[in-house]
Structure 1
């Protein structure tokens, strides 16, 4: 095999080296794309034009870049603190109940195709996790870092699991269309995206029930862990 056939792979070691050295991921990917394009003989102007075209065609990326600074400003001016104060005023709110409510809403909206309505950057970090922490602190008092991290992990898991199982119900979702195309290419007829979406409903309901049961034990586990942590603190004192 000729050496020129390996030139399109030149971006792979760039990505590996960049991530190994912990450089900015966006810069690493951009450098990999530029090095690959130049290695295969693309003109620099055409290469930059291709970058710009793909960027403009990616509506979701452009939206994310516009939303991210807004979220950063809201966090800087106390969005997390306001969310925690608001939750502290609701006596019936607990960490598990807040996460349960978010899970249900997130899965339903994902099933309707509103996948970008929530997410880690725009919802979990600035709102959901602080609200869940605020509810725990309101009931249990001061929280050690390990419990705060656990609550944040549960908040992130709620978003991941809910959107993962909910989005397959939406018949225009890319994965559903991919499965439909794969089945037809392999001679499996009479399968439409609507059928795939309908058969995804039992899986989504099962995921909902299993995760609700998991979250139902969260409040009790937090109480036992905070009691053990306080006993340890008193013994150390």
Structure 2
């Protein structure tokens, strides 16, 4: 029965979240409760925390990226992005996002997943540029249209990453697909799966590009 005691850490998590306590403190407290009930000393639990942080220290890069983006925005990054788009005569929301979709898919296909994303590019650059293109072509936008353009920018990033990353064979999703197929006695190498992901990525690009062109048309009808 004693080997079930470490599961009481789960109750700590449930109780902490139910009381709306600080999530980080709740998780740390739960980990200590679990470790102590499993027979570990406080020092050993702390050592496990330290090792886990050291093994996954690449995740801490977000604490460097986010302040950098915040500082750039404070000093006019979004305004400069809007000004660039306003300088292009034929810029539209659809054309801009199609170009971003192409960039996102190509970079994801060669393993550069972190060169773009909602925090890195969509919020500070792509969304403001798309809004500027929409305002230039169709005038002042209402709140619903602004939300629609922002959502389209975020969706473009998701589609580009999701269907582009499987072309890069050294990624976890490929390993998962390979293992799932192996349970059904279908043996494929990662490179074979990556090659077969190419037609899907092309189809996704064409379909989403069509959606973006239809977005342009719907915005045009709104302005008439």
Taking structure 1 as the reference length, the TM-score comes to 0.84
Q: Residues 10 and 143 (structure 1 numbering): CA distance in 2 closer, same or farther, change over 3 Å?
A: same
State the Cα distance separating 1:100 from its structure 2 match: 0.4
Aligned counterpart for 2:197 among listed residues 200, 203, 208: 200
Contact 2:12–2:26 (CA<8 Å) still a contact in 1? no
Question: Is the deviation greater in 196-205 or in 217-226?
Answer: 217-226
State the Cα distance separating 1:118 from its structure 2 match: 0.6
Partner of 1:7: 6
Partner of 1:235: none
Partner of 2:111: 113
Name the SS for the 2:169 alignment partner.
coil
Partner of 2:49: 51
Q: Which runs of 5+ in 1 are unaligned?
A: 228-237
Partner of 2:88: 90
Aligned counterpart for 1:177 among listed residues 175, 178, 199: 175
Question: Is the deviation greater in 37-46 or in 77-86?
Answer: 37-46
Taking structure 2 as the reference length, the TM-score comes to 0.88
Contact 2:131–2:146 (CA<8 Å) still a contact in 1? yes
Contact 2:16–2:23 (CA<8 Å) still a contact in 1? no
CA RMSD of superposed structures (Å) = 2.4
Deviation per CA, 1:51-100: give whole Å up to 9, x if none.
22222222441222211110111111111111111111111111111110
- 2:63 matched to 1:65? yes
Aligned counterpart for 2:99 among listed residues 95, 98, 101: 101
Name the SS for the 1:63 alignment partner.
helix
Partner of 2:216: 219
Q: Residues 127 and 30 (structure 1 numbering): CA distance in 2 closer, same or farther, change over 3 Å?
A: farther
Deviation per CA, 1:105-153: give whole Å up to 9, x if none.
1011101011111111111111110110111111222211211111111
CA distance in 2, matches of 1:212, 1:55: 41
Contact 1:95–1:135 (CA<8 Å) still a contact in 2? yes
CA distance in 1, matches of 2:223, 2:44: 60
